[in-house]
Amino acid sequence: MKYNIFIIITTTMILFSSCSRDSQMDRTIFIPDKTEPSLPAYTEWGYNSFGAIYDNRTYFLVSNNIAPCKILCKDGFLRFSLSGVFKAQNTPYSAEREQITLSFSFPEENTSQYPDLLKFNNKQINLADEDCSVKIIRGENERTLEVVDGILHFKRVQLLYIDDVPNRIILSGIFRLRFLENEFPTVISDGRFDVGINDNVFYAY
């Protein structure tokens, strides 16, 4: 009887430790950039963070209440989406904000599991290519941007192991783009991301 209780307690502790560890790894760590503290610094540690400057006045930032990144592979395309909020200059970060998603789509045939993302290490995507598209989604409103030029650069891609078992891919990189809005140019600049991708946020079918 005592032996059975010991097994149950030990198993519970292991499961709790594993869940706690994964929970800690899924959380967002926001380290301010030294020169632009409203943005997160560029990192390659899987901090589940991202940020960019929208039209020189507004920040597009990760939120603690929204999954920062999801990837969908379908019909020969990979869709890389960053979801967060807009924050105007000199406004408190804690204010309630609408969810915004910036979604990059580009041709990709052979990605069926998240470890396949390793092949994107140091890969650059020209967002102005005719086969690429960039969308902004606000609630039920989805808008395809008329991109003039831009780049999505996966600077470093790492496969993270825990106890010799693959746990997640860490995608780190930068992005920028210029597009036409009401016939005038708008810029998303200084974009950076450092996100963990596992089966919870990766879909392929």
Domains of the chain, by residue range, sit at: 28-204
Evaluate if pTM is beyond 0.95: no
Q: Is the pLDDT of residue 94 over 90?
A: no
State residue 149's pLDDT score.
Answer: 98
State residue 95's pLDDT score.
Answer: 58
Task: From 71, 104, 106, select the one nearest 204 (Cα to Cα).
Answer: 71
**Least confident span in 13-27, 45-59, 160-174:** 13-27
pLDDT 10s digits, 106-141 = 999 999 999 999 999 999 999 999 999 999 999 889
State residue 123's pLDDT score.
Answer: 98
User: Which residues contact residue 40 at a Cβ distance below 8 angstroms, ignoring those fewer than 6 apart?
Assistant: 30, 31, 32, 33, 47, 49, 50, 51, 61, 62, 192, 194
Please state the rounded mean pLDDT for residues 32-52: 97
pLDDT > 90: percent of the chain:
78
Cα(31)–Cα(26) distance, integer angstroms: 16
Bridge-partner residues for 32, per DSSP?
40
Cα(151)–Cα(14) distance, integer angstroms: 43
Enumerate the H helices of 129-190 as residue ranges.
Answer: none
